[in-house]
Structure 1
Amino acid sequence: MTDPHDEPSVTLGNVSGSTFAIGSHARAVSHHGTAPARDEATEQLLAAVRELRADLTRVRGTDRTAALDAELAGAEEEITATGQAGPTRRERLRALLADSQSLLNVLASAGTVAGLLGR
Structure 2
Amino acid sequence: MGTAERDEESGAGTAGGQGGRRFGNIRIGNVRDGVVGIGDNNRIVNGPQGGAVCDPAYEELLRAVGQLSADLARLVDSPQVSALSDELTSTQDEIQRTGRAGAGRLARLRVLLQDAGAGVGMLASGVAVGQAVGALLGG
TM over 0.5: yes
Q: Unmatched 5+ residue regions in structure 1? A: 1-16, 18-31, 109-119
Shift of 1:95: 0.6
TM-score by length of 2: 0.52
CA–CA distance in 1 between the matches of 2:113 and 2:123? 12
Give the corresponding residue for 1:44: 60
Matches within 5 A, 1:1-119: 33-34=48-49, 35-108=51-124
Greater Cα radius of gyration, structure 1 or 2: 2
Counterpart CA distance in 1 for 2:104 and 2:120 is: 21
The residue type paired with residue 89 of structure 2 is A
Structure 1 or 2: larger helix share?
Answer: 1
Aligned positions, number: 80
Cα offset for 1:103? 1.7
CA RMSD of aligned residues (A): 2.2
Listed as ranges, the gaps of 5+ residues in structure 2 are 1-32, 34-46, 125-139
CA distance in 1, matches of 2:64, 2:107: 16
TM-score w.r.t. the length of structure 1 is 0.61
Q: Which has the higher strand share?
A: 2
Post-superposition offset of 1:53: 0.3
Question: What is the percentage of aligned positions where both structures have the same residue?
Answer: 40
Runs in 1 of length 4+ with deviation above 4 angstroms? Answer: none
- Aligned AA (1:74): S
What's the secondary structure of 1:79's corresponding residue?
A: helix
